[in-house]
Structure 1
Amino acid sequence: MRRAAVAVATGAMAVSLAACGSADKADGGSGSSSSSAAKGDNIRIGLLLPENQTARYEKFDRPLIEAKIKELTNNKATIDYNNAKQDANLQAQQVDTMITNKVDVLILDAVDAKAVKNSVQKAVDAGIKVVAYDRLAEGPISAYTSFDNVSVGKTQGEALLAALGGKAKSGQIVMMNGSVTDPNAAMFKKGAHSVIDGKVKVGKEYDTKEWKPENANANMEAAISALGKNKIVGVYSANDGMAGGIITALKAAGINVPVTGQDAELAAVQRIVAGEQFMSVYKPYAPEAAAAAEMAVALAQGKTLDSIAKDKVDSGSAKAIPSVLVPVTSLTKDNVNDTVLKDGVYTYDEICGGKYKSACEKAGVKQ
Structure 2
Amino acid sequence: MRKLIWVAALALMALTSAALAEGKKIGVAWGDLAQPRWRWDVTAMRSIIERSGNKYIPVDAGGSAAKQLQDIEKMIVDGVDAIVIQAVDKDVIMTAVERAAERGIPMLAYDRLIEHPGVFYITFDNVGVGRIIAAIVKQAQPTGNYAIIKGDPGDPNSDFLRKGMEEVIGASVAGGQIRIVGEEYADGWRPDAAKAIMERILAENGNQVDAVLAENDNMAGAAIEALQAAGLTVPIGGQDGDPAALNRVAQGMQTVSVWKNSFDLARQAGRIAVQLAEGTPMSLIPEARQFTGGEKGIPVWSILLNPTPITADTLDVVIDADHVTKKDVCRNALPSVAACR
Q: TM-score, normalised by structure 2?
A: 0.88
Asked if the contact 2:45/2:266 (under 8 Å) is kept, the reply is yes
Change (3 A) 1:319 1:291: farther
Give 1:41 shift. Answer: 6.3
Give 1:40 shift. Answer: 7.2
Give 1:301 shift. Answer: 1.0
Change (3 A) 1:197 1:107: same
Q: Distance in 2 between matches of 1:53 and 1:176?
A: 21
Give 3-state SS (helix, strand or coil) of 1:333's partner: coil
Match of 1:327 among 306, 316, 319: 306
Of stretches 190-199 and 134-143 in structure 1, the one that deviates more from structure 2 is 134-143
Match status 1:191 vs 2:164 = yes
Structure 1: gaps (5+ residues):
1-34
Indicate the structure with greater helix content: 2
Asked if the contact 1:109/1:137 (under 8 Å) is kept, the reply is no
Q: Aligned ranges for residues 24-103 of structure 1 at < 5 Å?
A: 39=20, 42-57=23-38, 59-71=39-51, 73=52, 76-103=53-80
Match status 1:351 vs 2:329 = yes
Give 1:319 shift. Answer: 4.2
Letter matched to residue 298 of structure 1? Q
Match of 1:119 among 67, 75, 96: 96
Q: Aligned ranges for residues 146-225 of structure 1 at < 5 Å?
A: 146-165=123-142, 168=143, 171-199=144-172, 200-225=178-203
Letter matched to residue 42 of structure 2? R
Letter matched to residue 301 of structure 2? P
Q: Distance in 2 between matches of 1:143 and 1:295?
A: 9
Give 3-state SS (helix, strand or coil) of 2:236's partner: coil
Q: Distance in 2 between matches of 1:316 and 1:224?
A: 31
Aligned residues: 317
Match of 1:263 among 234, 237, 240: 240
Letter matched to residue 315 of structure 2? V
Asked if the contact 2:290/2:302 (under 8 Å) is kept, the reply is yes
Give 1:363 shift. Answer: 1.0
Q: TM-score, normalised by structure 1?
A: 0.82
Give 1:143 shift. Answer: 1.2
Structure 2: gaps (5+ residues):
1-15, 173-177
Q: Distance in 2 between matches of 1:290 and 1:48?
A: 16
Asked if the contact 2:82/2:276 (under 8 Å) is kept, the reply is yes
Asked if the contact 1:116/1:138 (under 8 Å) is kept, the reply is no
Give 3-state SS (helix, strand or coil) of 2:233's partner: coil
Q: Say what the alpha-carbon RMSD is for the aligned residues.
A: 2.0
Letter matched to residue 127 of structure 1? G
Give 3-state SS (helix, strand or coil) of 1:322's partner: strand
Q: Distance in 2 between matches of 1:308 and 1:95?
A: 26
> Taking every aligned residue pair, what percent have the same amino acid on both sides?
30
- Structure number with larger C-alpha Rg: 2
Give 3-state SS (helix, strand or coil) of 1:106's partner: strand
Q: Distance in 1 between matches of 2:81 and 2:288?
A: 23
Asked if the contact 2:247/2:328 (under 8 Å) is kept, the reply is no
Letter matched to residue 241 of structure 2? A
